[in-house]
Amino acid sequence: MNFDLLLELVKMAHELGIPSTFVETNCYWCGNDKTTRKRFVELLNEGLNGILISVNPFILEYVSPMRTERAIRLAGDVFGRNTMVYQEFVSQQFRRFKIKEILPFEEYLQKTSLQSLSYMELLPIGRVPYRLGYLFQKYPARQFFGESCSEELRRNWHVHIDNYRNYITGYCGGISLGDARDLDSILQGIDLDDRPVIDALVTDVGELYELGRQFGYSECGEGYISKCHLCVDVRKHLVHHTDEFKELSPSEFYTQLE
Ligand code: SF4
């Protein structure tokens, strides 16, 4: 969306000696060969090591596979074997089923099969329980009591920083460990007394449920597809009823869940 800023970031990463940098793209911008090649070359010249081309049925709802194919071909020319296609299976599937245009997710499923999803990382988290919950088996809340998220919330090998500068471990969007600009204080440790939601989650998801009930949360009659569904549903309720929990940030995350 902001190519000049991306170039600047790549340049900074290169100057700082950060290894193995790559950019992940959904290829929406790859409308013609000339611009696509030019931008790849510019990124390479600023020190970018590789490109990751995202291919999945959700991007297919907005981006023509013709653009994705163009990106794969030209990235191969420019970045060689440092071109990653994630996921190659889906890319081959589009070719096999001659899918060349944008397609709604339900039509993709009709054309291929429900089985296709078993090859994808469809994490039962975030908006998935609300939009695609019909694909999953559901369980009562108590099914997930006793499970701790200590590992997920202490994860140090794959983190995200959202566009509000929140530091997020793994895939737990909407749970901020702090301001990513102040990494030192995050690395010193999180004061759990100051962040009751995180305190509950590292102990037992059931404790988050109890915290939610104190603020009027009631169990969803249809059940939950995963512990993350229960977690995000309680958090959504909390954000809508109180601003007491600063770790539930950004609030915008919770307005986009339905
Ligand atoms: S239950 Fe919540 S905290 Fe635990 S992994 Fe899922 S989203 Fe993250």
71 lines ligand 1 (CB under 6 A): no
- Select from 139, 148, 197, 201 the residue to mutate for testing ligand 1; criterion: most ligand atoms less than 8 Å from CB: 201
Query: Taking Cα atoms as reference points, which of 115, 220, 234, 219 lies closest to residue 174?
Result: 234
Residue 166 has pLDDT above 90, yes or no: yes
229 lines ligand 1 (CB under 6 A): no
Using pLDDT thresholds of 50, 70 and 90, give the confidence band for residue 158. confident
Residue 172 has pLDDT above 90, yes or no: yes
231 lines ligand 1 (CB under 6 A): yes
For the chain, the average pLDDT equals 96
pLDDT of residue 1: 87
Q: How many CB atoms lie within 10 A of CB 253?
A: 23
Residue 170 or residue 217, greater confidence: 217
pLDDT of residue 197: 98
Rounded to the nearest angstrom, the distance between the alpha carbon of 46 and the centre of ligand 1 is 37
Nearest atom, ligand 1, residue 144 CA: 1
Rounded to the nearest angstrom, the distance between the alpha carbon of 58 and the centre of ligand 1 is 22
Residue 119 has pLDDT above 90, yes or no: no
User: Average of pLDDT values for 109-136?
Assistant: 92
Rounded to the nearest angstrom, the distance between the alpha carbon of 230 and the centre of ligand 1 is 9
In tens, the pLDDT along 133-143 reads 999 999 999 99
CA-nearest residue, atom 1 of ligand 1 = 228
CB-CB contact of 43 with 10 (8 Å): yes
Nearest atom, ligand 1, residue 201 CA: 3
The DSSP bridge pattern shows strands 159-161 and 167-169 to be: antiparallel
3-state SS, the chain, equals CCHHHHHHHHHHHHHCCCCCCEEEECCCCCCCHHHHHHHHHHHHHCCCCEEEEECCCCHHHCCCHHHHHHHHHHHHHHHHHHEEEECHHHHHHHHHCCCCCCCCHHHHHHHCCHHHHHHCCCCCCCCHHHHCHHHCCCECHHHHCCCCCHHHHCCCCCEEECCCCEEEECCCCCECCCEHHHHHHHHHCCCHHHCHHHHHHHHCHHHHHHHHHHCCCCCCCCCECCHHHHHHHHHHHHHHHCCCCCCECCHHHHHCCC
pLDDT of residue 59: 97
pTM: predicted TM-score of the whole model, two decimal places: 0.91
pLDDT of residue 208: 98
pLDDT of residue 157: 86
128 lines ligand 1 (CB under 6 A): no
172 lines ligand 1 (CB under 6 A): yes
Distance CA 100, CA 64 (A): 6
User: Average of pLDDT values for 1-20?
Assistant: 95
CA-nearest residue, atom 8 of ligand 1 = 172
CB-CB contact of 238 with 211 (8 Å): yes
Q: How many CA atoms lie within 13 A of 255 on its CB side?
A: 4
CB-CB contact of 150 with 141 (8 Å): no
Residue 120 has pLDDT above 90, yes or no: no
User: Average of pLDDT values for 172-178?
Assistant: 96
In tens, the pLDDT along 208-258 reads 999 999 999 999 999 999 999 999 999 999 999 999 999 999 999 999 998
Q: How many CB atoms lie within 10 A of CB 18?
A: 12
67 lines ligand 1 (CB under 6 A): no
Rounded to the nearest angstrom, the distance between the alpha carbon of 54 and the centre of ligand 1 is 24
pLDDT of residue 258: 81
pLDDT of residue 226: 98
228 lines ligand 1 (CB under 6 A): yes
pLDDT of residue 121: 83
**How many angstroms from the chain centroid is the CA of residue 166?**
14
For the chain, what percent of residues have pLDDT higher than 90? 93
**CA dist list (Å): 133 to 66, 164, 222, 224:** 30, 28, 10, 8
Rounded to the nearest angstrom, the distance between the alpha carbon of 228 and the centre of ligand 1 is 5
User: Average of pLDDT values for 176-197?
Assistant: 94
